[in-house]
Amino acid sequence: NKKKIDPGTYMLTVDATTENNQKKWHLAKTFTIKPENAKKINDEAITEEKAEVSYLPMIIGIGGLLLGIIVFLSYKLFQQKGR
């Protein structure tokens, strides 16, 4: 959840109906959130979005490094066989 709950007075309104519309319920309830409760709720409920780590640049870098090592070792081996 990204939205903070501010302290204050709120009203919750719920309307419910059975599938066949034979019964209906209406509930209206006023409640207050105190500053200390809002802080506790926000600390528990609000999660920071973590930055996604892109592995593609790391994979390309490691692949390039391995390719460079293979080319270097092949070149050295080729030089030794030429002697």
Q: Which residue has the higher pLDDT, 83 or 30?
A: 30
Q: Check whether 2 has a pLDDT greater than 80.
A: no
Average pLDDT score over residue span 74-83? 84
SS3 52: coil
Taking the whole predicted model, whether its pTM rises above 0.75 is answered as: no
- pLDDT, tens digit, for every residue of 45-55? 866 666 677 88
**Domain locations in the chain as residue ranges:** 1-50, 51-83
**pLDDT at residue 31, as a whole number:** 95
